[in-house]
Structure formats: C-alpha cells, structure tokens
A and B are shown apart, each in its own frame.
Chain A
Amino acid sequence: MKKVKRSVRARSSSVEEPIASNRARPTKNDTGPMGEHSQFIQSFIDLLKQHNLAELEFEREGFRIRLKRESAAGSPLVAKSENTAGGGPAQADSQAAAISEQTNGMVTITSPIVGTFYRSPSPDADAYVEEGDVVKKGQVLCIVEAMKLMNEIESEVIGRVVKILAESTKPVEYGQPLFLIDPSQTG
C-alpha cells in the first residue's frame, strides 16, 4: 500500500464544546503508517519549478499525483498527492489551527479531519507523546490516516499533555477531541 506522509496542523477548540459521539468502527486491516514517497514527490515539485508549470499530473499503477501552483510563478506550491486506490487529497488549507483560550486554561486539540487515529508512526514504534509529556509548538502529536494519507497532527501550543482522549487505531471524526493540553505547564 502506498503511503504519503503529510503534516496537518491540529485544530484546537474549547473544552466545553459539545462533540457528538462517533459510533463508527474500523473495518479494514491496519497496516500502520509509513512515508516512503517524499523523495519521489520532491522530484515532481522540482520538475514543476524547473519548467515553470502551473499544474502537473502523473499516474502509474494505481498511484496518482497532482501538483498545482496556487497562483503565479514564485508563489508557494500546493501539493496534492493521492493514491488512485485511495481517492482525493485532504485539504490542508481548511485545517488551519484555531486556538481558543479556555476558562480553566486547558486547550483541547481536536481532529481537523475524518480518519483513523494512530498514536505512533508504525505499530512497533513508540508513541509520539505520552500523558505527562511536555510538547513544543509544531511537535507531532499523532497521525490521522485519511484516504491512505498519513496526516501528522502537530501541536499548536506549548504545554503538558494532560490526557489523551482518543484510542489508537480507532476512527475519529471532525472536531473529535484528541488531546487535552495544559499550556501553563511548559517544563
């Protein structure tokens, strides 16, 4: 299975925000996260820059990559890659973090997308974070796999992980609380 590693910033929300329960259950085998295509994709990005192209699409043996420049040359590239057996790309743009201050000072990191929650990069690897760890801004907290893409969820705040709210390998929905972080504890 082709896997593409990407980074997605987490969305944080109020602890008081009501979140609907999710009775969804996973049905497929979990093969665990990997990321082996970054070099391959980088070569396409280089090609796009080199020839000053607006858009580039490549498809081979169930793998499809589409790269598109957002506007004129020189602007940042928007990379959209997908496994053709895995559907459309996740929209990183829509998942910009929004930090809301809490009355009790706690920050809830919620899932910015629908997918499967993984606490570690592979089944045998150590978890990205444990309860009690102090995390930095931009530090990877977990992975949410969506459409065969491994989306790394980064912390938007500095603080101590007070509680991990989701179970590894289980589906998560948009807005589902994943981590409770206390930003007053930074060391």
Chain B
Amino acid sequence: MSQMEEIIVEIDENGNVTLEAKGFKGKKCTDATRAFIEAMGTQVKEKKTEEYYQPDYQPTKKKVRVISQ
C-alpha cells in the first residue's frame, strides 16, 4: 500500500527556515531532509518525534491456522 511522505518548508520574513517532515518512518526522514539542510544553510535546532523512532520495516502479523494432530 502506498503512503504519503511530506516535507513542509516554512520561511519567515528574515529568511529563517523551519522544516517539518511527516509520514516518514524511522531514519528515512533524516535522509530526506539532509538534502534540504545542505542546500539551505546551517541547521540550528532539531526535534525528533515518536514517529522517528519507529522501525523502517514493521512485519505484518499473519494468521496461522494450526491443525491439531
């Protein structure tokens, strides 16, 4: 199933930037934002949220039918 990855860039009237990454799992968001940070200037603050610490891959639970002998 496809999901949306989103980056919101907000630039104030002094040219300062706030960058927010949504919908990325785990460290994929760091990779995605790196290109923006490198091109835009110097990172001064970073805040990682719960979603950041989720694993990139979450195995799906399978239903197993057990046939008793």
Are A and B interaction partners? no
Q: B interface vs A, CB < 8 Å? A: none
Q: A interface vs B, CB < 8 Å? A: none
